Amino acid sequence: MNPTAGDVELNTRIPKRIGRLDELAYNLWWSWHNQARQLFRSLDFRLWRVTGHNPVKLLREVSPDVLRAAAGDPDFLALYDSVMAAFDDDMTTSATWLGSTNPGLVKDVMAYFSMEFAIHSSLPMYAGGLGVLAGDICKEAGELGLPMVAVGFMYPQGYFQQRVAPDGWQNEIYRQLNFSEAPISRVLSAKGDVAIAKVEVGDVTLEIGVWLVRVGRTKLYLLDTNLDENPVPYRQLSARLYVADRELRIQQEVVLGIGGVRALRALGINPALWHANEGHTAFMMLERIREELVKGLSFSDAVEKVRAATIFTTHTPVLAGHDMFPVSSVKRYLNTCCQALGISWKEFFELGQDNPGSDVLNMTALAMKLSGQRCAVSKLHGKVTQRMWHTLWPDLPEEKVPIGSVTNGIHVPTWISPEMYRLYARYLGADWIKKHDDPKLWERVMDIPDEELWRYRRQLDRKLAGTLREHVRKRWVQEGMSPKQMLVGGMFLDPDVLTIAFARRFSEYKRATLIFTDTERLKRIITNRERPVQFIFAGKSHPADFPSKILLQRVYNLAQDDGFQGRIAFVEDYDMHMARDLIAGVDVWLNAPRRLQEASGTSGMKACLNGALHMSVLDGWWYEGYNGKNGWAIGSEQVPSDSQEEDRADAETLYRLLEDEVVPLYYTRDRNGIPRGWIAMVKESIRTAAPRFSARRMLKEYATKCIAPEPARWQTRS
């Protein structure tokens, strides 16, 4: 059933000597290998930029003359042969971590279900950190040799594009994905049909199509309901990510969970292990229980067998952030499922109740009860999650609630800038990327001369300034912008000024406006003639979250205040492409969530990897990462009882840190213009954060702690 690599139409226009370019373009392996990106970039640099670094679109639009010239260019051919050799080696080698050092650890295929995946900006099917983590896991799983398939949704309209009006109000624009220009392939049935599987959503049976995204060795299957066989109202069921309509949301989750299992079965994929990324995917467990009942197991044994092969990761420490559906919606859309399980509605709802007598089905509670392994995404989040879900195990002490933790990490090859990659190759070794989770390797960072590290950091500062100017120029040419909007967009930011970024999803608990608590004091900090500071804000508000949209509007309007002298910018439509330049080009990454409400966070890890310094509340990953010498902590780890007092105290600490520590350290230079103290802190930050908060460390921990023991548990019970 799997499609062939590449595209027939593309293949016919590419000369035979470089005929595998389309195969490479359709595997997102290229997105985290710089030489592969350089290969496409060298065909037509202008077109590479215009197409948003999308090689499929590039190959469709590039001139045939350019392709013919490339096929006869010795330099291009040498690069092509080198890239394809590396690609083939990565796709076929058994010399992976699993294959060479732990061949018996994970023997069978595991399935990874998630509502969103962020692989590359050419596939805009992600909203934020959950999707970025899922994408990083797909990439790293293949590199480690873990036999994983992933399942999600093909959102043709994806998440929205952000446009901010002159008054600061966020507007959402949805654009239809051009499937012919995206690195995806339609999967057909053995009969050549588009429909692969069926799922009952209430009294309607929907046909499900499947798209394939190749992510290195990992196959990502995306479900699609936009088929002619389906009733018109249901064709757009999978059109957009995170719709506000609760009825539409439960329909999506039925298709993802139940339909996702059936799609894998239709493709001949029978995973031994199943990983649910957040509660959106929990219906997957119900479908697998139904399958075991058909095989003849009792309901209780079917539940135990599914539990033994299921891992669940929760990311949300705020109860309101978990999907909960009323009784009426559940009965409307899951009636067939309940009947197939052979249990009463009372028993069905008990599976998803977070408290006895609750009148809603809580998707996280459902996933917790039907999983054998339950993981939070940082150590502190693990404690918060045990407290949060203590009601599911009321007879146990809170510290014994069976929820563990595996702290998140980032896919280093994706998030390392080319400049820092080259610097590390020089001082850590040419093969540093292959062993980047080894803490001993990163001790060599201390050997990098201060002057050289500072020079590379200055290159990244200038690169970011250029990116922001180009971003504004493009918007001005295409849509028009007022002078104020151009100013807010960062047109006049200075690469020689200390730059601090706050870039993340806009939500009240993240406190984007904390820095504006005392605007006059902030103006004095920002406009200091000898030691100026500039801030860059970026991020989206959920379309239905009006309080956060008001926060975004306040930030945008404050950035227009002449008293800040143009040193506050708001970057529209923050995506993976912009994120790569921001995390590398700023000097300080700011994070200010309310305590115990940031499960992990990963953007600060990416910034530290590239030599920026982290300044954050001691929450999420920073609770583990901060050592007093590798960045700054805002306040203590104590949780104030009053949120207003928390805001006041943290704002005061933030101002004091800027005035007394951050700004002086950055601007204190020796006679050669090198900030020795700053560089020492940067080195300590890289040394401590890079290996520990990598996706490689994270997945190895998952494999040894959570994945490997699962099949044996059911065999023992049997």
296 and 156 inside one domain: yes
| Angstrom distance (rounded) from CA 126 to CA 643 | 31
Q: Is residue 3 part of a domain?
A: no
Q: What is the DSSP letter of 109?
A: -
415 in a structural domain:
no
Domain count, the chain: 3
Q: Which of 6, 28, 54 is nearest to 139 (CA)?
A: 28
What type of residue sits at position 243? V
What are the phi and psi torsion angles at 404 (to 5°)?
-100, -160
In total, the chain counts a number of residues equal to 718
The residues, any chain, with a CB within 8 Å of residue 59's CB and separated by 6 or more, are 10, 13, 14, 21, 22, 25
Placement of tokens 């060298």 in the chain: 42
Q: In the prediction, which pLDDT does 717 show?
A: 45
Compute the distance between CA of residue 533 and CA of residue 663 in angstroms, rounded to an integer: 8
Token pair for 145: 């040799």
Instruction: Answer yes or no: is 420 within a domain.
Output: no
Q: Which residues of 142-151 are buried (b: 16+ CB within 10 A; e: fewer)?
A: bbbbbbbbbb
Residues 588 and 462 in one domain: yes
- Does residue 657 sit in the same domain as residue 713? no
Pairing between β-strand 498-503 and β-strand 404-405 as defined by DSSP bridges:
unpaired
Nearest to 365 by CA among 355, 352, 375: 352
Locate all alpha helices (DSSP H) within 370-443, ordered by sequence: 379-388, 412-415, 418-428
512 three-class SS: coil
Res 6: pLDDT: 55
Backbone angles phi, psi at 237, to 5 degrees: -55, -40
Helices (H) and strands (E) in the chain — how many of each?
32, 20
> What pLDDT score was predicted for residue 708?
66
Mark whether 618 and 558 lie in a shared domain. yes
**Residues 679-707 as b or e (16 or more Cβ within 10 Å = b):** bebbbbbbbbbbbbbbbbbbbbbbbeebb
Q: Is the residue at 419 inside a domain?
A: no
Counting Cα atoms < 13 Å in the Cβ hemisphere of 131 gives 23
Distance, in Å, from the CA atom of 454 to the CA atom of 471, rounded to the nearest integer, reads 26
> Token pair of 462, please?
């200038």
Check whether residue 163 and residue 63 sit in a common domain. no
Q: Which helix (H) or strand (E) holds 502?
A: strand 498-503
Q: Which domain holds residue 199?
A: 101-408+700-717
Distance CA 552, CA 570 (A): 9
Residues 84 and 158 both lie in one domain: no
- Whether the CB-CB separation of 14 and 21 falls below 8 Å is answered with yes
Residue 235: how many other CB atoms lie within 10 Å: 16
Please tell me whether residues 47 and 147 are part of one structural domain: no
3-state secondary structure of 277: strand
Same domain, 438 and 501: yes
Of the residues 39, 72, 92, the one at which a domain ends: 92
CA distance 127 to 107: 33
Decide if 631 contacts 684 (C-beta within 8 A).
no
In this structure, the answer to whether residues 541 and 563 fall within a common structural domain is: yes
Instruction: Please state, in angstroms and rounded to a whole number, the distance separating the CA atoms of residues 586 and 136.
Output: 22
**376 in a domain, yes or no?**
yes
Residues 6+ apart with CB under 8 A from 30: 24, 36, 37, 39, 40, 55
Give the residue carrying structure tokens 């780890």. Answer: 637
Same domain, 433 and 293: no
Sign, Cα dihedral of 343, 345, 348, 354: negative
Q: Which residues of the chain have pLDDT under 50?
A: 2, 4-5, 711-712, 714-718
What's the pLDDT at 107?
79
417, part of any domain: no
Instruction: For residues 256 and 352, state if they share a domain.
Output: yes
Q: What is the reported pTM?
A: 0.95
- What pLDDT, on a 0 to 100 scale, did the predictor assign at position 360? 93
Which pLDDT score, from 0 to 100, does residue 190 have? 86
Whether 206 maps to a domain, the answer reads yes
Question: 630-635 — which CB contacts under 8 Å span 24+ positions?
Answer: 630/681, 630/684, 630/685, 630/687, 630/688, 630/689, 631/681, 631/685, 632/657, 632/661, 632/662, 634/592
| pLDDT tens-digit series, residues 588-612 | 999 999 999 999 999 999 999 999 9
- 421-430 contacts: CB < 8 A, separation 24 or more? 421/34, 423/448, 423/452, 423/453, 423/456
- Residue 357's pLDDT is 80
416 falls within a domain: no
Q: Tell me, yes or no, whether 267 and 388 share the same domain.
A: yes
Residue 266 belongs to domain with CATH number:
3.40.50.2000
Between CA 349 and CA 337 the distance in angstroms is 12
